[in-house]
Amino acid sequence: MSVPSTGQQAEAIAHSRRIVVGVDGSASSIAALRWAAAEAQLRGSDTFVEAVLAWQLPFAGQPPLADVPSTHRAESEAMRHLEDILDAALPPGPTPEPEIRPRVCEGTPTNALLTAATNAEMLVVGHKGYGLVTDVVRGSVGVRCLARAECPVVIIPSPVS
């Protein structure tokens, strides 16, 4: 079996139709994931969804330092968490689903999503709906991505309870 080189993989991604979606397990990120999957299905079989979960090690100096996981272990745990989210959010159904590729990225959610969205058809994020004042004061991943992304950004509102 031939394994493509990193350059070949990057070239294949650059020429495929890829929708990047931020996933953190929240209701709004699940809604964004489902919207991205439906959009990929509409766009055809050459479009896939890259579900991205950002992760970070605890800040230095936060107790207990002895419990800080290694980077490899933290990344593995993040991938398991993302796969659990995907399994719960997109159970197998009667219609063929678009390909969903899980990806974990170390860093803040905004930076991880912007990096992952390089050469993507679009970036899809959920919005938790805290309100304009909170978004301005605390910042919103969706708003920051909208301002800085090089591709179209779709912000999916949190589902109504």
pTM: 0.80
pLDDT at 143: 86
137: pLDDT strictly greater than 50: no
pLDDT at 132: 52
Which tokens is 110 given? 């905004």
Q: Return the ∠ at Cα 73 (arms to 30 and 64), rounded to 5°.
A: 100
* Residue-range domain boundaries for the chain: 14-157
Which of 131 and 54 is assigned the larger pLDDT?
Answer: 54
pLDDT at 6: 57
Residue 115, judged by CB atoms within 10 A of its CB (0-12, 13-18, 19+), counts as middle
How far is it, in rounded angstroms, from Cα 17 to Cα 108?
25
Which of 130 and 89 is assigned the larger pLDDT?
Answer: 89
DSSP 65: G
Please name the amino acid found at residue 119. N
Q: Select the CATH number that applies to the domain covering 14-157 from these four: 3.40.50.620, 1.20.1070.10, 3.40.350.10, 1.20.1600.10.
A: 3.40.50.620
pLDDT band per the 50, 70, 90 thresholds, residue 120: very high
pLDDT at 4: 45
